[in-house]
Structure formats: structure tokens, C-alpha cells
Amino acid sequence: MSTLFLDVPIRGMRCAGCVKTIEEECAKVPGVVEATVNFAAERARLAVHPRDFRAPVLVRSLRDHGYRPATARVAFRIDGMDCPSCVQPLEEALRAVPGVVDASVNFGAGRGEVEYLPGSADPESLAAAIRKAGFAAKPESQAAAQTDDEMRSLRIRLAAAIPAAVAVMFLSMQHMIFGRHLVPHRAAEWIQLAIALPVVYGCGAAFHLGMLRGLRRLAADMNTLVSVSTNAAVLYSAWAVLAVRPTYFDTAVSIVAILLLGRALELRARRGTRDAVEKLLHLTPRTAEVVRDGTPAEVAVADVRVGDLLRVRPGETVAADGVVREGTSTASEAMLTGESRGVEKSPGARVIGGTLNGHGALVVEVDRTGKDTVLAQIVRLVEQAQGSKARVQRLADAWARRFVPGVIAVAAATFGVWLALGRPIDGLVSTMAVLLVACPCALGLATPTAVMVATGRAAQLGILVKDAESLEAAAGLTQVMMDKTGTVTEGRLAVRDVVPAAGRTREEVLRLAAAVEKNSEHPIARAIREAAPPDVPEVAEFEARPGLGAVAKLDGRDLVVGNRSLMSYCGIDIKPITHEISHAAAAGRTPVLVAHGESLIGLVTLADRPRPEAAEALARIRALGLRVGMISGDDATTTGSIAGELGFTDAHGEVLPDGKAGLIRQLQGTGERIAMVGDGVNDAPALAQADVGIAVARGTDVAIESADLVLLRDDLRAVPAAIALSRRARAIMNQNFAWAFGYNALLIPLAAGVLRGVGLYVDPMVASGAMALSSITVVLNSLRLRGFGGA
């Protein structure tokens, strides 16, 4: 048996003792002959027998022990999948390639994604495995061209099949239309045969080739049903021409024409499920004006490099991510974040490639290009989500694989029963109808089309959904827990109240406090400066008193700003506002006292302010029937104050990051399904523990590993929108499944002729139209999610 040598990068080794652990774990994996680990290089060299080697076992074992073997991912657009029963054999073919860790094929998306160990597998070998299984594979980047080719081919075949079907129908029904044969009956039958053969075996070649591919892998799919039924019609009719019996050429030709039309309509509708991604892909302009060595030049966007200076005129689209160096303007980020208002841009501000510049000209220094830009990350995450599978879809795929053999068995039984009744022609027609009316495609499209449209619409609303299972989980939530600082609140101090002493005014208190604080960078100082009026007096001899406050000279007297201890040290009497100070402290606010000379001027209280939209967001979440709680590392008094202000009934203060995860776990133990909303960094353990982790992206970081959903804009109203969208998607999936099952349960018995005695039956032409319509109905139903507007 041949031996293959693999180099596997492994992260997470902390000491030389890890080497022995990894070597021992690798040795336990089937197919591994020898394992040698280099601690310095963080790499394992494996000698394996390719036929026996199990990469998933290796990766799972190392991950279970806290190590991170480096894997790669590649996505393909797969052509030739005509029904959901193609999925399982394709996945099995990919998983049989040595080094493949996991493979997921999505029929609705026409996409396959493979995780593999570099060095043991590569995109070329994976594409070869797909081709060997009887399908065509192209890299993700060529997807649009592939879809266009498929649509072009369908149009050509339709252009031939539809006139042919009309001609055959005319020849077969001429005596009914005109009361006589304009073309002699026998001649008309031979002409029908001559037309039917190229239509059925030329225009309909894809169905017959698909059946042959299935036979090679000992599997049956939708192509098998169509091919068997059309072959039966044509071959019987060819015999009937010779035996002078009734023919069914019109049925065979019409079936091919109707199915091709249905497939074209379905493909067009399915392309609509990728609208969101297509729009994102077209955001980046083709060219950009770059200044290099002081000389401006127009270059292709692909040639823009990190460090280049871009000139962005008013109304132009920014070509790459970067930082504004010159100019002021606003930028519309609506297509990326869902934020409809223009975002102010001035020197030092970040701009995102694909956003639209407003009224001013900008010079931007590029710091991210190509696949590293925010837009590229968003597209990658949306495509990954659209290609993923919900849990229910895995069951549907398994059921679909058994569906076609079951239909063939029903068709055989149908023919046998009619034959036993002495009515073989009725048996042939009913058998063809059963084969044609049965539709596994509607079942296979029920979930993926809904997932594709929902995740695309979510991206347009500024919500990134990591995968289908996250979308599915969000629909079943019972409670939402939120981090306080920076999530429910703005994450910075702000002036909440001003209490002037007798004879003083609010403006005077703020003006004098800001006079001292304008020389400080303390968060309290910044908050006071932002709230103060513009006419702040100049002070002298500023002196910071760490832990107490600050003192300066104004008009020859001390101007004191600080806490009670500083006032006591300076001999200032604060008894007139002692009650207000105590009240502020009890409410979790920071009291700052202001005195000039020996006179108390007043009190300024500060606190972290709730986000402007927080109350509205919480109301929308509650309207969805969910409970809302808050977790914070701040003291219980401050946490309780914010909770009371916003109406939280469940608030937990003084909880450390690991404690947040423990609290989530405790709630889950009572049967709650929890969403945790946080920043993705300090709250990472809690986000990972929750049933659905929702992170608010900071700046340009959209690929937050610990989150299931990522909000691209700082707006809590996106949380109820995401939950409402997931519920709507689940409802659409349920409707699709109900339609798919109900359609087959109703029409297969009718096609078999169980009610033919009372005049209720489905003939083959109607059956083929019904099959095409069933898939289109599911896709169109899923496309209704594009109109989702929010919670």
C-alpha cells in the first residue's frame, strides 16, 4: 500500500510536552503510519495510507485536546444537480478524497463547500472528484458565467422544443380541430415520430444523461423519472406507428417542452435568491484614481495597493478600505450596514470600499484591498451562510434520496395493477403520470431557498448571519440577554444632571467646571466639556489631583472641581446639596462638585447613557414575546440604575466575563433558549455559550468568531429585526415543506388513477406541468422574504 506524507500546521502548542500528546493522538487515527511533530515549526509530519486515512478523525481529536490544525476551505459552483437526491452521493464522493475534513453540498444554492487539510487535498483534486461523480464544478468566482451559460443553453433548447411541441400537438389533434385530417393520418404519425426523436433525445438530452450518471453510481433521481417516462412514451408510440395503434408523441414532446420551461423559470427565480450577493459584488467600481509619486492616474481596482492614495470625487464610489487623509464629506454606507443616514468623514476617519461618497472630495490612504476589505468579508460570510444547511435540511436530503426509488416502486405497482385489470394503455399513461408528477425538487428547495433569501436580506439590513443553523436557532429563542457597557449604553460617560447651588445657574456650573476640565483628558473631563456652553473662561495654574479632581486659578481664586474628599480638603461646605449627592450615588452616577473660592457653585452628575434607540429596541423584543435581561461587570447599583431606566426586569451586576457564560448556562439549564448580545471581545465566552451569540461589530471587524450573528451598525433595533426575520424564514420553510409534502401526497395517488373511476386523474402532460410548478412555487414563496422590512 502506498504511503503519503503530509505536513499539517498545528497551532496551540505551549510547551515541548505538547509534542508527545499530539504524536500519540495522531498515531490513534486510522491510516496514520507515523507522526513526527516539530514544536518550533508548529507542524506535524504524517506518513499515512491514503485509502485508510481519516482526516475528520485527526482534526476532531486534535481540536478536542485544545490544538488547532490548520485547514483550508474552498467553494465550488456545481452544475448538473437536478434534484436533492444528488446531494448525498456528491458529499460522499468529496469525503472519500484523502484529507477532506468535511463537505457540504447545497442543492438550492447549487454550491458545495469543502474543508480539507492542505497538502493532502487541493481544489484541483476536489473538482476532479466532483467531475468523477458525474457533475461539473467551477470555482466560486466563475459562478455568474456558469449560470449565464446554463440559462443560454436552456433558451436554445426551449426555442426548439416549444415550436416542435405545438407542431406535434397540431398533427395529433387536427381531426378534432378541423373535423378532418389536413395531413393524412399515417403520414402525420411518421412526421410526429421524426419531430419527437430530436426533441426528446436532443432538447431533453440532459434528462437522459442525468439518468445515466445516476445509474453509474447506482442511484435514481428526478432525471430517472423523466427519462423513463419519456422513453416509455416514445418507444411505445414508435411501436404503435408500426402496429397501427394510438400514439403518445404529443405527450412525450410536450413533457420535454414543459419541463424545460419549468426549469428555466425555476433557474431565473433561484437567481433571485442571490440578488443580495450580486448587488454587493457590484458595489466596487472597476477603476480608481490613484496618486503615486504626486502623479494621478486611473488604474483598475485590482491594481490598487496598500499605501496608495485614492482621490474620491463627490458622488463616486470608494474603491478600497482606508483612512481619510484630506477633505471632509459624508458617505452612504446603506448597502453595507443598512444605515440610511450619511456618515461624516473627515481626516482620520475610516472609509469602507463600496460606499458612496457624498458632497465633498476626499483623499484616502488605502490599508485594505481585495479579499481583505470589509465588503469582501461580508460577501464571503453571506455566501458561506447561503451555502450552509439547516438541521431540517439534512433530514430532507436523506428523505429525498429515498423518494425517487419509492416513486419508481409506486409507478411499477400502478402499471401492474392496471395490467391485471386488463387495461395496459391506462396503465402506461398512469405510470408515466406518476413518474412525472412526483417532485423531490420542491422538498430539496424548501429550506435552502428560504435560507439564501433570508441571509441576503439580513445582509441588506446590516445583519450578518453566519450559517443556516444560526438562523434556525434565532427563530426559537425565548430570552435575550444583553451586556450593559457599550451595548445597552453608549460606553462613555455623559452629563446626566446639573444641580446649581442657590443663586447659581446650570450654565454657570458647567462653564466653570469646563474651565478646569479643558486641560484634562480624563473621561469625566471630556463629558463635561461636551455639555458645557462655548464661552468657557481661561484659567491659570492648573493642577490635577489624582483620585480627587483638579484645581486651577480664576480671577485670583481657586476654582475647584472634584469629589467630596477634595471639597473637604479645600474647606468647602457641601451641606446644602448633600441630599442630591447621596441621591446621585444611589442611582449609580458619578457626582462632581464645583466651587470657586469658598463658595459652592453646584453639582454635576455623570453616568454612562443608554443608547438613544435602546428603549425602542427593548420594546420591539418584548413585542416578539421574548424576555430581556442585562448582564454587566459594573457594580450592582449602576447596573440597577440603567435597568430601572430602561425597564429591565432581570439585571445582573458585578459579573465577570466567565461568570456571564456561567449565568447563560444556568438559564439554559431551566429550558431557556438564550441569545447573548455583546461586543464579541469581552463577551466572547458568553456569546459562545449562548444558543445564539449576537455581536456588534466595532469598526471594520465583521468576522467575529464567537458570534452567530454580527450587527454591522451600532443599532440595537437590528436585534429584534434579526429575530423577526428568522421567525419569518422559519414560517416560509414550514410553508414550503407543507406544500412539498402535500403536493406529492395528493397528486401521486391521482396520477396513479385511484379516482379515475369518478373522472379524477392527472394525465402525463398535466403531471409534468404540475411538477415544474411545484418547484417554482417553493422558490417564489421564499422570494417573499425579500420584502421583509423589520420587526
Q: For the chain, what are the domain ranges?
A: 4-69, 72-134, 147-274+384-449+733-784, 296-373, 465-489+611-727, 493-608
What pLDDT is stored for residue 608 in this prediction? Answer: 84
Give CA separation, 94 vs 85, 98, 140, 275, in Å: 15, 9, 17, 29
CATH of domain 72-134: 3.30.70.100
Average pLDDT over residues 34-39: 84
CB within 8 A of 454, min separation 6: which ones? 465, 471, 725, 726, 728, 729, 732, 785, 788
Of 44-58, 373-387, 493-507, the range with the lowest mean pLDDT is 373-387
Flag whether pLDDT at 144 surpasses 60. Answer: no
* Architecture of the domain delimited by 493-608: 3-Layer(aba) Sandwich (3.40)
Write out the H or E segment, with its range, that includes residue 399.
helix 391-420
Could you say which architecture CATH assigns to the domain 296-373? Answer: Distorted Sandwich (2.70)
> Which residues carry out catalysis?
483
Q: Dihedral through CA 644, CA 649, CA 653, CA 655, nearest 10?
A: -150
| Distance, CA of 405 to CA of 220 (rounded, Å) | 6
E strands along 327-434, which residues?
329-332, 343-345, 350-351, 356-357, 362-368
Query: From CA 89, how far away is CA 73, in angstroms rounded?
Result: 20
Q: How far apart are CA 745 and CA 163, in angstroms?
A: 34
C-alpha grid cell for residue 230?
419519456
Average pLDDT over residues 465-492: 89
Which CATH number, 3.30.70.100, 3.40.190.80, 3.20.20.370, 3.40.50.300, labels domain 4-69? 3.30.70.100
CB contact set of 542 (below 8 Å; sequence gap of 6+): 516, 519, 550, 551, 552
CA dihedral (82, 83, 84, 86) positive or negative: negative
Q: How confident is the model over 207-243, as pLDDT tens digits?
A: 888 888 778 777 777 788 888 888 888 888 888 888 8
509 close to 533: Cβ distance less than 8 angstroms: no
pLDDT band at 4 (very low <50, low <70, confident <90, very high): confident
H/E stretch holding 668 reads helix 657-668
How far is residue 61's CA from residue 217's CA, in Å, rounded to a whole number? 32
Once rounded to an integer, what is the mean pLDDT over residues 420-436?
90
- State yes or no: pLDDT of 201 exceeds 90: yes
| Residue 595's pLDDT band (cuts 50, 70, 90) | very high
Within 10 A of 420 (CB to CB), how many other CB atoms are there? Answer: 10
Mean pLDDT (whole number) for 426-434: 89
Residue 681 pLDDT = 62
Give the mean model confidence (pLDDT) for residues 276-298. 82
DSSP 630-662: EE-SS-HHHHHHHHHHHT-SEEE-S--HHHHHH
Given pLDDT bands bounded at 50, 70 and 90, which one contains residue 338?
A: low
Please provide the DSSP assignment of 151-206 as one string.
HHHHHHHHHHHHHHHHHHHHHHHHHHHHSS-SS-HHHHHHHHHHHHHHIIIIITHH
Q: What is the mean pLDDT of residues 127-143?
A: 78
Confidence check: pLDDT of 700 > 60: no
Read off the amino acid at residue 601: I
From 137-141, 253-257, 636-640, the region with the lowest mean pLDDT: 137-141
Which pLDDT does position 191 carry in this prediction?
93
Burial of 743 (0-12, 13-18, 19+ CB in 10 A): buried
Residue range 53-74: average pLDDT? 86
pLDDT band at 16 (very low <50, low <70, confident <90, very high): low
Burial 141-175 (b: 16+ CB within 10 A, else e): eebeebbeebeeebeebbebbbebbebbbbbbebe
- Full 3-state SS string of 3-45: CEEEEEEEECCCCCHHHHHHHHHHHCCCCEEEEEEECCCCEEE
Q: Which whole number is the average pLDDT over 412-436?
A: 91
pLDDT at 334 over 80: no
Specify whether the CB–CB gap between 352 and 462 falls below 8 A: no
What are 490's three cell numbers? 453608549
Q: Of the CATH numbers 2.60.40.420, 3.40.50.1000, 3.40.50.300, 3.40.50.2000, which one belongs to the domain with range 465-489+611-727? A: 3.40.50.1000
**Distance between alpha carbon 171 and the CA centroid of its chain, in Å?**
52
Q: Which of 260-269, 429-438, 685-694 has the lowest mean pLDDT?
A: 260-269
Query: Order of strands, edge to edge, in the sheet holding 68-69?
Result: 32-38, 43-48, 4-11, 68-69
Residue 345 in grid coordinates: 468623514
Summarize the confidence of residues 198-204 as an average pLDDT: 93
At 714 the pLDDT is: 79
Q: Which pLDDT band, with edges at 50, 70 and 90, does 459 fall under? A: confident
Q: Quick count: other Cβ atoms within 10 Å of Cβ 715?
A: 20
Q: Assess whether pLDDT exceeds 80 at residue 176.
A: no
Q: Which of 606, 600, 608 is nearest to 572 (CA)?
A: 600
- The reported pLDDT for the residue numbered 698 is 61
- Asked whether this chain's domains 4-69 and 72-134 adopt the same fold, the reply is yes
Residue from 557, 254, 228, 532 nearest 408 by CA: 228
